[in-house]
Amino acid sequence: MSEKIKYSNLNKRLIFGIILLIIVVAPVIVSVFWTRFDPNEVNYSEMLQSPSFKHLFGTDDFGRDIYTRVMLGAATTFGIALFTVAMGALVGTIIGALTGYFGGIVDEILMRVNDCLASFPSILLALVVVSLLDKGTWDICIALGLVFIPSFARIMRAEYIKEKNKDYVLNARLMGASHLRVIFIHIFPNTLPILFSAVLVGINNAVLAEAGLSYLGLGVQPPDPSLGRMLSEAKTYLFSAPWYEIFPCLLMILFILGLTIVSDNFGVSGVSLNAVKRKIAKKRDGLSDESFTSDNIKRDQTTVYNTTEETTIGDRTTDKVTAGKMDAGYEKKHDNKSGCEAIDKSECEAIISVRNLEVGFIEDDGIDDTLLGISFDLHKGEILGVVGESGSGKSLTAMSIMGILSDKAVITGGSILLDGKTDLTRLPEDEYRKLRGGRLAYVFQEPMTSLNPIQKIGVQIDEILDIHQSHLKEEEQKRLVLEALEDTGLHDVDKLYNMYPYELSGGMRQRVCIAMALVAKADVILADEPTTALDANVADVILDIFKHINQKYGTAIMLISHDLRVIGKLSDRVIIMQDGRIVETLNILEATDVNIEKGIDRLCNVGVSDNSDSSDSLDDPDNPDRIDIKVSKDKNINKGKKKDKREKNGTIDRIDRSEEFRFGTPETDYGKKLLAAAFSTKKYQNTEENEKIIEKKNILVRAKDLSVSYKSASRKLKGMKKVIDSVSFEIPEGCVAGFVGESGSGKSTLVKAIAGLQKYVEGTLEVKGGRPSMVFQDPYSSLNPAFKVRRILEEPLRLKNGFGRSIIKKNRERMLQEIVAMLHKTELEEDILNRKVSELSGGQRQRIAIALTLIQRKNLIILDEPVSALDVTIQEQILELLMKLKKAFGLTYILISHDMRLVSRVCDVVYKIEKGKVTPHPTSLRSATFPSRGRRQNH
């Protein structure tokens, strides 16, 4: 959209709350220093007078000025509330922080006591404590303060338990921060938002509790005023002098109201989503006539695909693109397909046509345009892959088609046509609803959360039939549900029907989700990263199911993935997206002979250009056998036969380049870059250097019969559980040592042991040069979110030089210089220093994590899945950077990963971890004990 829609992001409620609080509190503060009347001066001649200029709020039964008494009473009440909450928060935070962080027996006992205290109503406890103490104002403060401690302790304990397992805490410990420093300097700032709202709620409760105590005659003693006392004194005069009751009550209500409004709206955006959406809808309606004609369609994108846009939508013919842009030398996959004889235009009908679709997110400072006008067709019976990095808009596209955008997202322009006629973006909700689950189906990324956790599987699938085919009899419905479940390859469907999602594995749940798409025989399935959350072997099976469905029912499938490998396995065409645009469309090619010849040509070229060590490559291009296997496999898929599992597993460790050729040759730079990154075979091992390192035999880490145990968490299994079981290995200085294993294999325990953070370690473990530093998998959690980048990077220096105020001041400049130097080494700019981690991209964060390890100046760095949370192209950049730094600083890396491909490209030594055992991995370029000089000599 050219013109920005303007709206206000001011949260009016927050401002209202603040003003209310000021209005209430300001006169109270003034009264503390100056009042017109003595609050306790008795004047029987002016008893129970109604409000007047002299007595703004009237007078009470002793002729005292109510305004003065209300204000001073409020001062007492608010004072008591502030004191008690301060006391409760301070003591509660300390108790909660220590027990939550350390856990153990003290924590158990204190929490038991806390549970018991929670069963006494707080006012009851306060009552008893006051009655046991005395009835002075201080006694009330102490009684209420004591009563508030348990709730603060409980809240803070929960926060500390949540925070203490985050990577940034581990990181701080690795840097050498003491436990107390971690608790109060690192974790505490992250608990502030929760503490803040707990304090506000606490003040509210304290004010009410004071009133309650006063009513029972145990509060502030006469003649001194407090709001609670006045309220209870005034109740006898409710009819004769209502102002006596009303004014203290009003002040109290306004004060608490102000507090609640502030705490509710603090940090909440004031943008009214509905209002903005209405505005956009109105604007779109104004434009509607134009956007339906093809002349208006922008052609500013460099897509291969925009030829399609020339077809007028009102009178849809066909899609000419594919034919036009097809590389004549390559055979088309469409030829094999029954549903869509591609070249024959008339039969290649688009079921979904997206035209110039624009979607934006409603943010505080305006609409953040995320999809910038994309156009494509999804044909009947095809599998269309959509690939792109995070934030490129792939899921947003699918959700727009389905009409299930999140509240903040809104379609700002363009259209989505179903069957070339119905514009889904303007379809009334009721009619749209009939399409969802009926003709359109969606499979989500997260099978673990996508199902209703407390509803039976069968009921959840059946619901679709209830909605869309309610005319069917119950038995018929059940039969269809069971059929759909069977179609996804599930067994025992009768039993499954009555099971709950939590009883199923991730793969099974994803099949259930697919069954939902099948049960009403949808024409289109939008599969949004359907395998990303699953283990590799399960993912393959799920992909096979999609293929099977596509062939059996001719269902059009739009497959979204960040992973080109997944896309390549299934799709007929691929759309590459970047930053909300379609960069280009590729056709997936058959692995025919022509294809292979071309591929080999290309491989040789690529091999020479980007890999100096290509003859060492595992996927030896001169070995024709491998590609032959590939060909037969692909043919098998096309015939609908099941893949041979063994065959797949056999090639899993190898770098499979034939997959890459199937994408053809991208025309755009981004497409090339993406493909290159996804199928990169660049190797980082430097053989000559390694020879030297190995000959020196300077061992940095040596483990002999190392066992690491955990204290068993469950009480049934008393004693220790061995996670690492007497393992031995050596890591020479200057190399990259890889540890490969699945989740739960003991990888992270081993790493923690090497880092010196494990308690129960037996055997010998020598680590030269002290504690290593570490780069974590998730750069979102390994850097303290409460700190700015500069403060994060200063921490190791502070720990080294001491953190007294004067020392920090003295060192400020020097620290800054050192930090900036390291930032430059990690290819970051200085202006990043004053930003918070949450404002940075994943790649930037990981660079900061690397800079942080460099500042610690350790020569051993543990890399725990350092790139697996990043986008493919970023992964390559970070790898490149890490290797450059290794050379520059003479570092030694320990790389932990589940990704065999990555390990084989980077590591000099590879160990496999399995069920606590460590063995040298056969694919290691040199086996761990270096008996031979590696495979290179064999060639």
Interacting residues with other proteins (CB under 8 A)? 112-113, 115-124, 127-128, 131-132, 204, 208, 211-212, 215-218, 228, 231-232, 235, 238, 245, 249, 252-257, 260-261, 272, 274, 402, 404, 433-438, 440-442, 444, 446, 449-455, 463-464, 467-468, 500, 502, 513, 516
* Gap between the Cα atoms of 424 and 435, Å rounded: 10
Q: How far is the CB of 632 from other proteins (least distance, A)?
A: 38
Q: How far is the CB of 55 from other proteins (least distance, A)?
A: 22
Nearer to other proteins, 482 or 828 (CB): 482
Q: Which residues contact 242 (CB under 8 A, 6 or more apart)?
A: none
Q: How far is the CB of 906 from other proteins (least distance, A)?
A: 35
- The answer to whether 893 and 684 have CB atoms below 8 angstroms apart is no
Nearer to other proteins, 180 or 459 (CB): 459
Q: What does residue 840 show for φ and ψ, rounded to 5 degrees? A: -105, 160
Q: How far is the CB of 435 from other proteins (least distance, A)?
A: 7
Strand order in the sheet with 760-767: 720-732, 699-711, 760-767
Nearer to other proteins, 245 or 865 (CB): 245
Nearer to other proteins, 9 or 131 (CB): 131
- Is residue 587 within a helix (H) or strand (E), and if so which, with residue range? strand 581-587
Q: Which residues contact 81 (CB under 8 A, 6 or more apart)?
A: 203, 206, 207, 210
Nearer to other proteins, 221 or 291 (CB): 221
Count of positions (residues) in the chain: 939
Q: How far is the CB of 433 from other proteins (least distance, A)?
A: 5
Q: Which of 36, 424, 28 is nearest to 227 (CA)?
A: 28
Q: How far is the CB of 166 from other proteins (least distance, A)?
A: 22
- The answer to whether 765 and 918 have CB atoms below 8 angstroms apart is no
Name the DSSP class of 424.
Answer: G
Nearer to other proteins, 453 or 719 (CB): 453
Nearer to other proteins, 219 or 373 (CB): 219
Instruction: Please state whether beta strands 909-914 and 917-920 pair in parallel, antiparallel, or not at all (unpaired).
Output: antiparallel
Q: How far is the CB of 123 from other proteins (least distance, A)?
A: 4
Q: How far is the CB of 579 from other proteins (least distance, A)?
A: 25
DSSP per residue, 492-561: -HHHHHT--GGGS-HHHHHHHHHHHHHHTT-SEEEEESTTTTS-HHHHHHHHHHHHHHHHHH--EEEEEE
Q: How far is the CB of 245 from other proteins (least distance, A)?
A: 8
* Gap between the Cα atoms of 155 and 925, Å rounded: 52
Q: How far is the CB of 233 from other proteins (least distance, A)?
A: 12
Q: How far is the CB of 706 from other proteins (least distance, A)?
A: 34
Nearer to other proteins, 529 or 733 (CB): 529
* Gap between the Cα atoms of 244 and 251, Å rounded: 12
Nearer to other proteins, 272 or 859 (CB): 272
Torsion of Cα atoms, 208 then 213 then 216 then 220, to 10°: -120
- The answer to whether 292 and 271 have CB atoms below 8 angstroms apart is no
Q: Which of 75, 60, 71 is nearest to 245 (CA)?
A: 60
Q: How far is the CB of 256 from other proteins (least distance, A)?
A: 3
Q: How far is the CB of 515 from other proteins (least distance, A)?
A: 12
In DSSP terms, 388 is beta-bridged to: 577
* Gap between the Cα atoms of 223 and 73, Å rounded: 11
Tokens of 287: 């434009």
- Is residue 429 within a helix (H) or strand (E), and if so which, with residue range? helix 429-435
Nearer to other proteins, 480 or 789 (CB): 480
Q: How far is the CB of 398 from other proteins (least distance, A)?
A: 10
Nearer to other proteins, 37 or 500 (CB): 500
- The answer to whether 58 and 52 have CB atoms below 8 angstroms apart is yes
Nearer to other proteins, 257 or 600 (CB): 257
Name the DSSP class of 305.
Answer: G
Nearer to other proteins, 440 or 591 (CB): 440
Instruction: Please state whether beta strands 556-561 and 524-528 pair in parallel, antiparallel, or not at all (unpaired).
Output: parallel
Tokens of 199: 């304090």
Burial of 693 (0-12, 13-18, 19+ CB in 10 A): middle
Q: Which of 776, 777, 773, 798 is nearest to 787 (CA)?
A: 798
Instruction: Please state whether beta strands 736-740 and 760-767 pair in parallel, antiparallel, or not at all (unpaired).
Output: unpaired
Q: Which amino acid is at 159?
A: E
Q: How far is the CB of 211 from other proteins (least distance, A)?
A: 4
- The answer to whether 549 and 514 have CB atoms below 8 angstroms apart is yes
Nearer to other proteins, 433 or 702 (CB): 433
- Is residue 894 within a helix (H) or strand (E), and if so which, with residue range? strand 892-897
Is omega for the bond preceding 453 within 30 degrees of 0, making it cis? no
Q: How far is the CB of 45 from other proteins (least distance, A)?
A: 29
Nearer to other proteins, 461 or 906 (CB): 461
Q: Which residues contact 916 (CB under 8 A, 6 or more apart)?
A: 722, 723, 724, 725, 727, 745, 746
Nearer to other proteins, 41 or 264 (CB): 264
Q: Nearest-5° angle of CA 324, CA 671, CA 320?
A: 15
* Gap between the Cα atoms of 412 and 651, Å rounded: 46
